[in-house]
Amino acid sequence: MKTDFGDLRHRFDAFAARFWEKAAPDRPASPSRPPADPDDYWESVQELFTRDVTERGLRELALTDAQDTFRYFTREVDLSGLGQKPWYKRYPLSVWRVYLHTAFRLSPARRLLFAVAVPLLSLGWLRYLLSFLPGGVWDVSSSFPLLLLAATLLFLLLVLELRDKLTLKGDLEIARQIQFGLLPLDSIQRETVAVCAIMRPANTVGGDYFDVIDLEEGGLALAMADVAGKGIPAALLMALLQGSLRTLLTAGLRGEELVGKLNRHLCANIPSNRLITLFYGEYDAATATLRYVNAGHNAPFLLRRDGAQERLPATGVALGVLPEASFAAESAVLAPGERLFLFTDGVSEAFDARECEYGEERLAAFLFAHHHLADRELIEGVREDVLAFCGAARPKDDMTLMVVAHPG
Q: Are residues 342 and 383 in the same domain?
A: yes
Whether 353 maps to a domain, the answer reads yes
pLDDT for position 2: 43
Whether the pLDDT of residue 87 is over 80: the answer is yes
Q: Is residue 31 part of a domain?
A: no
Q: Is the domain of 163 the same as that of 258?
A: no
Instruction: Please tell me the distance from the alpha carbon of residue 138 to that of residue 136, in angstroms, as a whole number.
Output: 6
Distance, in Å, from the CA atom of 249 to the CA atom of 221, rounded to the nearest integer, reads 9
Percent of the chain with pLDDT over 70: 88
pLDDT at 15 over 50: no
Residue 67 domain-assigned (yes or no): yes
Q: What is the pLDDT of residues 19-40, one digit of tens each?
A: 444 444 444 444 444 444 555 6
Considering the domain architecture, whether residues 312 and 245 belong to the same structural domain is answered as yes
State pLDDT tens for residues 153-200: 889 998 988 888 888 888 888 888 888 888 998 999 988 899 999 999
Q: Give the chain's end-to-end CA distance (angstroms, integer).
A: 83
pLDDT(342) > 90: yes
Sheet of strand 220-227: strand arrangement? 208-214, 220-227, 276-284, 289-295, 330-333
Average pLDDT, the chain: 85
In this structure, the answer to whether residues 131 and 210 fall within a common structural domain is: no
Residues 114 and 251 in one domain: no
In a domain, 22, yes or no: no
pLDDT digits (tens, 9 = 90+) for 382-402: 999 999 999 878 788 999 999
Q: Do 125 and 263 share a domain, yes or no?
A: no
In this structure, the dihedral spanned by the alpha carbons of residues 279, 284, 289 and 293, taken in order and rounded to 10 degrees, is -20
pLDDT in tens, 276-321: 999 999 999 889 999 999 999 999 999 998 889 999 999 999 999 9
> 10 Å Cβ neighbour count for 68?
13
User: String of b and e for 142-157 (b: at least 16 CB within 10 Å)?
Assistant: ebeebbeebeebbeeb
Domain that holds residue 125: 36-176
| Domain annotation covers residue 26 | no
Same-domain check for residues 271 and 126: no
Q: Are 150 and 211 within one domain? A: no
Cross-strand partners of 226: 208, 277
pLDDT at 17: 52
CATH number at residue 237: 3.60.40.10
Higher pLDDT, 85 or 24: 85
Pair (90, 194) in one structural domain: no
Asked whether residue 24 is domain-assigned, the answer is: no
Measure the CA–CA gap between 205 and 196, rounded to whole angstroms: 20
